[in-house]
Amino acid sequence: MAERRVTVGWPEGLHARPAAIFVRAVAATGLPVTVARPGGDPVNAASMLSVLGLGAGGGDEVVLASDAEGAGDALDRLAKLVQEGLDELPGTV
């Protein structure tokens, strides 16, 4: 399983607009991806309600993971999106 630990770069955390950006980016990968707070249960990263339910704030650490073949590159791009608080997924998915 590929995994990336990142610090949430959006000051408001994974709430409202940033969560929507993140969920769309995950869906665009076409891969099953989970997100969790360290030590917490992973949730479907393509589900807006699940991502909002994490309550991850700016500066909090989250764990992105996928057991899909070739997920490493997609997780790298998703990690960059979350860590840098970008408005869109970097690179081609």
Residue 30 lies in a domain: yes
In a domain, 89, yes or no: no
Question: Residue 93: inside a domain, yes or no?
Answer: no
Mean pLDDT of the chain: 94
> How confident is the model over 68-86, as pLDDT tens digits?
998 999 999 999 999 999 8
Spell out the SS3 assignment of 33-61.
CEEECCCCCCEECCCHHHHHHHCCCCCCE
Residue 70 lies in domain: 2-84
- What token pair was written down for 78? 């998703």
91 lies in a domain?
no
Catalytic residue ranges:
15
Residue 89 pLDDT: 74
The one-letter code for the residue type at 39 is G
Q: Is residue 25 part of a domain?
A: yes
> Which amino acid would we find at residue 56?
A
